[in-house]
């Protein structure tokens, strides 16, 4: 009952005219960011963060979070209509969604994606409302040792649970920590890793790094393949409605995808991309007609879209309750909290209750706004795709550099942005994960201060990480997360040997 009372209070905050307008603008911008290939929610939030300066923190966060989950809806349009995922989490939607479009069922695919995203998003927000207070009360028992190990666990889980090489992910996390350490030591005041450059004494700002790695890097990569020959498939409003059979085929897929997405979203560093892929695989295994997957299965689209939207909302749970970002987008959102003068972490639930519950209520309102934006106006959103990407890319680059300049009004930041844009492009070319860098830059200051405070409390003894029960459990989880890739590799090798033996 207390949670319902707090949620009702949150609605009183979210339903003010300025907050409603901010939520609407965030959802609308998220739609366009999801539509445009090469941006994504993390880069979109980073690009638009400067326009929130001077705005109330609650209003700013409502708009930025609207961009985050709105991009999930927008990425569906390009996936279905032109087989170009506007956002990485929409890759699995493109597999079957575009096949449905070729069969003349683009409207049904867009409709089930919007409805699945809406239902999964609403369910995930309600779970978020009930889980956050529980985790928040538990997190009040945390002190410096627990904070250090919690931040460490966030980085190691990024490597062990994410897709790709765990070694590469850990190396990228180490690189992110190195970037975060540039500047002045917060406890001693000595200068480190500046190489005599006065501009670096204040450290490297998060925004240029995020805009460069995610925004500019993606744009440079997207310009390589020519998209001049891509012709959008037209869809009409009358084709957007689902039949009773379509709904019967997809309702359980939406439920399963939503549950999988929310659970995956709770894991730091995994994110909606893994959630949509996992939901797709699970749905194919339980489907009565797995042969349709890859050839135009409506339930495949429903599962993937439900999962990626639920994962976005699920990632907010560790961010709000523990101060640990669950994805790259929530890492940027966490940085926005800091820039807006709010200290993230367990005390956020009690010290900033209006902000947290207003934000949760705004997510429910935002999902309702998005369902009305997507069903009637999907054809209108698709018209954006008629603009050749070769013309859109320069505009995106200009906005990126202006956003980086606006953070400190320094051309040095523009140079930093371009530098990390080149690094982001090279990381894409060499298949290096970028999320660990973002997470490391956000978490490194907390890790450093918590580690040094812990050692000061214990007079330099590392036993403090074992003597405290919660810290000991977190330490075990860190070692487990580091060992998971090894066991996963051994399992794959064992299955491969078993398969070779049967041939």
Pairing of strands 191-192, 183-184: antiparallel
- Residue 137 near residue 321, CB atoms below 8 Å: no
Q: What is the DSSP letter of 128?
A: H
pLDDT at residue 269, rounded to an integer: 56
Q: Residue 360 and residue 149: Cα distance in Å, rounded?
A: 27
Phi and psi at residue 183, to the nearest 5°: 125, -145
Query: Scanning the structure block, which residue is given the tokens 């090489």?
Result: 165
Q: Which of 75, 115, 98, 78 is nearest to 296 (CA)?
A: 98
Q: Residue 71 and residue 305: Cα distance in Å, rounded?
A: 12
- Residue 104 near residue 236, CB atoms below 8 Å: no
Query: Scanning the structure block, which residue is given the tokens 């580091």?
Result: 482
Query: Scanning the structure block, which residue is given the tokens 């990126």?
Result: 400
Global confidence as pTM = 0.63
Query: Scanning the structure block, which residue is given the tokens 């989880």?
Result: 477
Give the side-chain half-sphere CA count within 13 A for 23.
24
Query: Could you tell me the two tokens for 131?
Result: 């889980």
DSSP annotation string for 68-101: HHHHHHHHHHHHHHHS--SSGGGHHHHHHHHHHH
Tens-digit pLDDT profile for the chain (503 aa)? 567 777 888 888 888 899 999 999 998 888 888 776 556 677 778 777 777 777 888 888 899 888 888 887 777 776 777 666 666 667 678 778 877 877 777 777 888 888 888 888 888 888 878 877 776 566 567 788 887 887 787 777 766 545 567 788 888 888 988 998 898 887 787 888 888 888 888 888 776 887 788 778 877 887 776 544 445 455 555 555 667 777 777 888 888 888 888 887 776 655 677 778 778 878 877 887 777 877 778 888 888 888 888 888 888 877 777 777 767 778 788 778 877 777 776 677 667 777 888 888 888 898 888 888 777 665 555 455 456 667 767 877 877 787 677 666 778 888 888 999 899 899 888 888 776 787 678 778 878 888 999 999 888 888 998 888 888 988 998 888 888 777 766 665 555 555 455 45
pLDDT at residue 228, rounded to an integer: 45
Q: Residue 445 and residue 157: Cα distance in Å, rounded?
A: 18
Q: What is the DSSP letter of 202?
A: T
H, E, C per residue of 205-270: CHHHHHHHHHHHHHHHHHCCCCCCCCCCCCCCHHHHCCCHHHHHHHHHHHHHHHHHHHHHHCCCCC
What's the gap between Cα 114 and its chain centre? Answer: 19
For the chain, helix, strand, coil in percent to 5 are: 80, 0, 20
> Facing residues of 192 across strands?
183
User: Which residues, 6+ apart, have CB-to-CB distance to 411 below 8 Å?
Assistant: 405
Per-residue burial over 298-326, b if 16 or more Cβ lie within 10 Å, else e, is bbbbbbbbbbbbbbbbbbbbbbbbbbbbb
pLDDT at residue 419, rounded to an integer: 92
Q: Which of 350, 356, 311 is nearest to 337 (CA)?
A: 356
Q: Residue 489 and residue 386: Cα distance in Å, rounded?
A: 44
197 CB neighbour count, 10 Å cutoff? 11
Burial of 288 (0-12, 13-18, 19+ CB in 10 A): exposed
pLDDT at residue 24, rounded to an integer: 92
pLDDT at residue 230, rounded to an integer: 47
Q: Which of 262, 304, 265 is nearest to 287 (CA)?
A: 304
98 CB neighbour count, 10 Å cutoff? 23
Query: Could you tell me the two tokens for 71?
Result: 């991009």
Q: Which of 244, 338, 348 is nearest to 298 (CA)?
A: 244
Q: Residue 76 and residue 220: Cα distance in Å, rounded?
A: 22
User: Which residues, 6+ apart, have CB-to-CB distance to 502 below 8 Å?
Assistant: none
Q: Which of 359, 368, 357, 320 is nearest to 9 (CA)?
A: 357
């Amino acid at each position: 009952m207390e949670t319902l009372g707090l949620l009702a209070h949150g609605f009183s905050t979210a339903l003010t005219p300025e907050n409603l307008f901010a939520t609407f603008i965030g959802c609308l911008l998220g739609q366009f960011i999801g539509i445009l290939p090469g941006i994504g929610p993390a880069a979109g939030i980073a690009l638009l963060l400067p326009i929130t300066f001077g705005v109330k923190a609650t209003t700013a966060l409502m708009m930025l979070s609207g961009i985050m989950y709105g991009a999930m809806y927008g990425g569906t349009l390009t996936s279905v209509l032109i087989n170009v995922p506007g956002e990485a989490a929409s890759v699995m939607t493109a597999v079957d969604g575009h096949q449905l479009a070729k069969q003349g069922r683009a409207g049904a695919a867009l409709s089930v994606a919007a409805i699945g995203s809406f239902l999964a998003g609403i369910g995930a927000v309600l779970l978020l409302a009930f889980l956050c207070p529980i985790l928040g009360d538990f997190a009040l028992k945390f002190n410096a040792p627990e904070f250090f190990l919690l931040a460490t666990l966030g980085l190691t889980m990024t490597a062990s649970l994410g897709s790709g090489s765990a070694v590469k992910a850990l190396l990228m996390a180490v690189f992110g920590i190195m970037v975060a350490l540039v500047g002045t030591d917060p406890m001693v005041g000595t200068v480190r890793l500046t190489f005599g450059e006065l501009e670096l004494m204040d450290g490297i700002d998060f925004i240029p790094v995020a805009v460069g790695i995610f925004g500019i890097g993606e744009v440079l990569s997207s310009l390589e393949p020519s998209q001049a020959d891509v012709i959008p498939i037209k869809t009409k409003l009358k084709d957007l409605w689902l039949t009773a059979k379509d709904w019967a085929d997809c309702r359980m897929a939406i439920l399963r995808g939503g549950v999988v997405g929310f659970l995956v979203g709770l894991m730091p560093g995994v994110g909606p991309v893994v959630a949509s892929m996992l939901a797709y695989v699970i749905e194919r295994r339980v489907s009565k007609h797995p042969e349709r997957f890859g050839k135009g299965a409506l339930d495949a689209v429903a599962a993937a879209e439900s999962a990626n939207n639920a994962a976005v909302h699920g990632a907010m749970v560790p961010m709000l309750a523990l101060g640990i970002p669950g994805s790259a987008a929530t890492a940027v959102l966490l940085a926005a909290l800091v820039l807006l003068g709010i200290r993230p972490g367990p005390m956020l639930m009690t010290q900033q209750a209006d902000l947290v519950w207003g934000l949760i209520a705004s997510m429910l309102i935002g999902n309702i706004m998005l369902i009305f934006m997507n069903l009637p106006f999907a054809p209108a959103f698709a018209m954006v795709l008629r603009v050749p990407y070769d013309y859109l890319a320069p505009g995106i680059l200009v906005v990126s550099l202006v956003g980086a300049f606006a953070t400190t009004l320094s051309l040095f930041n523009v140079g930093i942005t371009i530098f990390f844009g080149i690094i982001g492009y090279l990381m894409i070319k060499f298949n290096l994960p970028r999320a660990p860098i973002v997470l490391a830059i956000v978490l490194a200051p907390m890790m450093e201060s918590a580690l040094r405070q812990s050692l000061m409390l214990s007079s330099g003894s590392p036993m403090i990480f074992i003597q405290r029960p919660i810290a000991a459990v977190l330490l075990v989880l860190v070692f487990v997360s580091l060992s998971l890739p090894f066991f996963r590799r051994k399992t794959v090798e064992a299955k491969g040997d078993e398969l070779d033996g049967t041939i």
